Structure 1
Amino acid sequence: MKIRLENPSNSKKKTAMLCGYVLENSDKILGLQNFNSKITSSVEQSIKDMGGIFGKIAVIPTNEKLTQRILLAGLGKKEDFTNDTIRFVSGKIAQKAKELKLKEFTIIAPPSSLIEPLSSVSQIVEGCKMSLYKFEKYKSKKENADPNLTILISKSEKISSSIKTAEIISDGVIYTKSIANLPPNECTPTTLANFSRIIAKKNNMKCNIISKVELKKRGFGGIFAVGQGSKNEPKLIILEHFRGPKNEKPIVLVGKAVTFDTGGISLKPGEKMDEMKFDKCGGCTVIGIMKAVSELKLPINLVGIIPSVENMPGGEAYRPGDIIKLYNGKTAEILNTDAEGRIILADALSYGEKQYSPKAIIDFATLTGACIIALGTNIAGMVSNNKKLTDMIMESSKRTTEEIWNLPLNDDYMDMIKSEVADMKNVGIGRAAGTITAAAFLRNAIEKTPWIHIDIAGVAWTQIATKEKPYNPKGATGFGVRLILDYLQN
């Protein structure tokens, strides 16, 4: 999709489809007053009929040679307007344009009295680009090409910059979805390592890959243990973006990337096991963020660490009852080999803290089914040891509408993972507080750095109860990319 800006004019616009937003209980298309009155009068009845209901779309042929169609897009009630309204509705517009097989379409940006212009164009771009994404890599017949978009708004350097930023962010989300959607036979730990190398080379980042033999030699006991049951060897992927002051401590992002999770010896049920290709979504999110940050050339120091394994029940697989030594020297009793994500994350978190002395660590993981039970499939769980960092992430959550919920972590939960034969065990007591006890295991890997763990098990891909959004078509959602990019920019 090519996107361009154009100043509104008082003459008719040459376009296959001119799109405008309509508030509920309004008789006007926002911004259309700048255009030919004949076009405006031809759609008055349609405005009344569609009523501006949120997400409702109406297309009216105009019998005009220049402006061939008018599209009305309902924004709902003004008092219900959110930071996601324009993004959501713009996605609906873009999908309609593609359905009509148009080569291009034009959107009139809503007035500044409704939404700040920079936010407006960002949401239009994100909604349109992300809603046109579809995972078709393995389809022999592809859908028609994406239409190009013109945004009508008073042009300025800030507006142009905002659109460019929104394009890069959207592309980061789309890239994250594209690799997360890959099937396990096409995406192994080595594949993710190769993707990272390509991104690093293209965007002037440093990339370091630690492989199986070196992992064992350097004391990454958790990553080595979980990955040893598969013929596809484990990898620890490290991406470095250092564009900030030399003496400034970096932020470290860590993402769980289990390219397929059978549960290991503690084998999962067969039903929906195919969805375990999405157990790599945390790592894919970090890769997508690093790609976008490098393309945005953000003047910050940032490190992405992705522990990647395939959890298989092979002859060399780790077992329930094993005791393994983690990177930080602590020992973990294995009671369930399907609680593998926390084990590889613990190694990566410890390495990130020891190697980089960061000012903050944020990890992403499809960690626990318990998080879906607690919060459903539209809100991610969050556990932290630092209120200031938590508050900043929550502010970014409000701006991006990638929703998260803060969960507690006190000594009672830490006690629930104490082991009688090792420093800790990899599952808590029964099913109680499963999301928090998993985070408690990770907390043992952090010494003093401000840290946030985000459990994306319910939001990383579309599931039965996932709220339908045009920019989240079936499959991986890329959750967390927009959230963290907002945090890093602010």
Structure 2
Amino acid sequence: MKIRVENPKNSKKTMMLCGFVLEDSDKVLGLEKVDAKIISSLKQSIKDMGGMFGKIVFIPSEGKTSRMLLAGLGKKENFTNDTIRFVSGKIAQKARELKLREFSIIVPPSSIVEPISAVSQIVEGCKMSLYKFEKYKSKKENIIPDLTILVSKSEKISKMIKTSDIISDGVLFTKDIANLPPNDCTPTTLANVSKILSKKNRMKCSIISKKELEKKGFGGIVAVGQGSKNEPKLIILEHRMGSRNEKPIVLVGKAVTFDTGGISLKPGEKMDEMKFDKCGGCTVIGIMKAVSELKLPINIVGIIPSVENMPGGESYRPGDIIKLYSGKTAEILNTDAEGRIILSDALSFGEKQYSPKAIIDFATLTGACIIALGTNVAGIISNDEKLTQKIKESSKRTTEEIWELPLNNDYMDMIKSDVADMKNVGIGRAAGTITAAAFLRNAIKDTPWVHIDIAGVAWTQVATKDKPYNPKGATGFGVRLILDYLQNI
């Protein structure tokens, strides 16, 4: 999608002029700056559509445009930071349905919404809503029309359009690799994707393969990955644009390219969705892409432990005791609780190798998180209130919703083992999301750390809220959230 900005008064003819309408309002927001001649002819159409949230209506026009679209924003008092993003997505999808080459959206006046925020939401909503995963289709059907944003030009507006464009591309890149099928996306595939990305975006990329993982003591990653012919990899991406002495922020993402559950085999129903068990790692790769393209003046390290969890003669077993990178031992009671094992190695490595000022991990870790929070809110567990608060603030701005769960010594006690330092599952089904995080907490000494469980939000599921910018498949959840956090440090 090509995006350009035009001053409303100087706007050229467009194939579809799109404007927003508040509920129970009698005018199109900002239209008077574009084409005052057609305002009177719209009154009945505006009254009929009522400005209801998400409702769109076409009307004939005699002004500069061959067609016009009215899009309802609902009541002003119900506005969120997602309102314009959501409605802009519906506009973009209608433009595609009509097979238009381009369309224009009028930015509402500052009395309604801050223009910088509106522009950001319009770009993100339009770009993300036009996404389709068509890599394996013989006939490509997706049509991407260009977008013109009608707003008074300024350096801040231009910068925000560029920033939002890059962030949206980061989300779409994340979706592209997360949607790859398991036969076409192994740990080696993710490693190769990262290598190509690093060369293009001037990041350092290191890949640690199985023999070196064994030699360096990554007992968790090796154990989980040893049942598959597709060898495990530890992928490391480094963006170094901060000062030389500045400690980095480390991002860690679980990337199980396919999860059968191993010896503790999952039920067959919906096992195909386990291609999405790599979404945490894909999120980190997408963030690193955007960070490098935004040229953020900070130091960021992305660490992606990647395995395929398969049953077989070489698989690790319930009853095994493995030694993790931290030096601690773990009793394996369920091989389907594998994400915490590979993340544990990666977290310990990240802390020891980089002495970071903060660690944030992403993982499709527990079905228990879906039971607790559903499929529209991610779980967050932390050892640091200040770091948690900053990410909560980013959550409010981006509307990628999170909810904090507790982690105290009682939960830590639930994963103590009689025969090892800890066990990889808690007591029964109680507090499954928290006991998984407790296992991860054991991997970290004293670095501020946040764990984000994205099991319910990483891809669209039965109860996922219908949003135009989240078409079926991977959602890219977490990319916008953490990029906002990083930009506001």
For the criterion TM > 0.5, the same-fold answer is yes
CA distance in 2, matches of 1:329, 1:249: 24
Match of 2:392 among 394, 399, 403: 394
Partner residue, 1:18: 17
CA distance in 2, matches of 1:310, 1:216: 16
Match of 1:332 among 330, 333, 357: 330
Amino acid at match of 2:417: S
Partner residue, 1:483: 481
Match of 1:295 among 293, 299, 307: 293
TM-score, with structure 1 as normaliser: 0.99
Q: Secondary structure at the match of 2:227?
A: coil
Amino acid at match of 1:4: R
Partner residue, 2:48: 49
Amino acid at match of 1:348: A
Partner residue, 1:27: 26
Q: Is the 8 A contact 2:384 2:448 kept in 1?
A: yes
Partner residue, 1:142: 140
Q: Any stretches of 5+ residues in structure 1 without a counterpart?
A: none
Shift in Å, 1:13: 4.3
| 1:249 matched to 2:247 | yes
Q: Which runs of 4+ in 1 moved over 6 A?
A: none
Q: Provide the aligned length of Structure 1 versus Structure 2.
A: 488
Amino acid at match of 2:334: N
Amino acid at match of 1:480: G
Amino acid at match of 2:253: G
Q: Is the 8 A contact 1:12 1:36 kept in 2?
A: no
Q: Is the 8 A contact 2:38 2:62 kept in 1?
A: no
CA distance in 2, matches of 1:115, 1:373: 36
Shift in Å, 1:35: 3.4
CA distance in 1, matches of 2:11, 2:252: 51
Identity of aligned residues (%): 83
Amino acid at match of 1:2: K
CA distance in 2, matches of 1:449, 1:146: 44
CA distance in 2, matches of 1:254, 1:144: 33
Shift in Å, 1:446: 0.3
Shift in Å, 1:63: 5.2
Which aligned pairs between 1:76-475 and structure 2 lie closer than 5 A? Answer: 76-475=74-473
Partner residue, 2:7: 7
Shift in Å, 1:59: 1.1
Amino acid at match of 2:297: P
Structure 1 residues 12 and 488: alpha-carbon distance in aligned structure 2, compared to 1, 3 A threshold: closer
CA distance in 1, matches of 2:34, 2:310: 62
Q: Is the 8 A contact 2:303 2:350 kept in 1?
A: yes
CA distance in 2, matches of 1:41, 1:229: 70
CA distance in 2, matches of 1:63, 1:168: 36
Structure 1 residues 191 and 144: alpha-carbon distance in aligned structure 2, compared to 1, 3 A threshold: closer
CA distance in 2, matches of 1:41, 1:96: 25
Amino acid at match of 1:287: I
CA distance in 2, matches of 1:476, 1:317: 28
Shift in Å, 1:38: 3.6
CA distance in 2, matches of 1:122, 1:38: 29
Q: Secondary structure at the match of 1:367?
A: coil
CA distance in 2, matches of 1:68, 1:43: 14
CA distance in 2, matches of 1:112, 1:37: 19
CA distance in 1, matches of 2:439, 2:147: 48
For structure 1, which segment, 248-257 or 66-75, has the greater mean C-alpha deviation from structure 2 after superposition? 66-75
Question: For each residue in 1:144-171, what CA deviation from the matched residue of structure 2 results, as whole angstroms up to 9, or x when unmatched?
Answer: 4200000000001111000000000000
CA distance in 2, matches of 1:35, 1:236: 54
CA distance in 2, matches of 1:394, 1:100: 39
Shift in Å, 1:376: 0.2
Which aligned pairs between 1:36-75 and structure 2 lie closer than 5 A? Answer: 36-62=35-61, 66-75=64-73
Q: Is the 8 A contact 1:426 1:438 kept in 2?
A: yes
Question: For each residue in 1:305-363, what CA deviation from the matched residue of structure 2 results, as whole angstroms up to 9, or x when unmatched?
Answer: 00000000011000000000000100000000000000000000000000000000000
Q: Secondary structure at the match of 1:252?
A: strand
Q: Secondary structure at the match of 1:71?
A: strand
Q: Secondary structure at the match of 1:306?
A: strand
CA distance in 2, matches of 1:124, 1:261: 37
CA distance in 2, matches of 1:256, 1:139: 28
Amino acid at match of 2:46: I
Shift in Å, 1:36: 3.2
CA distance in 1, matches of 2:357, 2:40: 59
Amino acid at match of 1:460: A
Shift in Å, 1:104: 0.4
Q: Is the 8 A contact 1:91 1:471 kept in 2?
A: yes
Amino acid at match of 1:76: G
Amino acid at match of 1:40: I
Q: Is the 8 A contact 1:12 1:67 kept in 2?
A: no
Q: Any stretches of 5+ residues in structure 2 without a counterpart?
A: none
CA distance in 1, matches of 2:186, 2:87: 36
Amino acid at match of 1:267: L
